[in-house]
Amino acid sequence: MSRLDHLNIRLVVEGPAFSIYMRDDCVAAVSAQGTSQGSTGMMTERGLAYLVWRDGQPYLVAKGGETPATPEQVETIRKFSEDLKNALSNALDTALSQ
């Protein structure tokens, strides 16, 4: 079982420039080489929303507006982003060593 599978992270789109990974409601784009991870977002009623900080407060910003992010949402996004970064880093290290 791959590290991504173990972390319940799915590759949902793979393209020439980037790939999109998802776990539950969290989504992230990663460069095709797996070397650069873009912002992590969360699917909401308004569509894909990104976590932004304003005056020290977290918000989920989507097309059409923003809502305050709960501590649970912030933690979910943070954990997904960290897990994906670590899994891709490990995969890249393994590929380079072969």
Q: Where are the domains of the chain?
A: 3-97
Under 8 Å between Cβ of 2 and 21: no
pLDDT digits over 32-49, tens only? 776 678 888 999 988 999
Residue 6: enclosing H or E segment and its boundaries?
helix 3-6
Residue 1 has pLDDT above 50, yes or no: no
Maximum distance among all Cα pairs of the chain, rounded to whole angstroms: 47
Residue 53: enclosing H or E segment and its boundaries?
strand 47-54
Q: CA–CA separation, 64 vs 9, rounded Å? A: 28
pLDDT the model gives residue 34: 67
Q: What percent of the chain has pLDDT over 90?
A: 61
pTM: 0.83
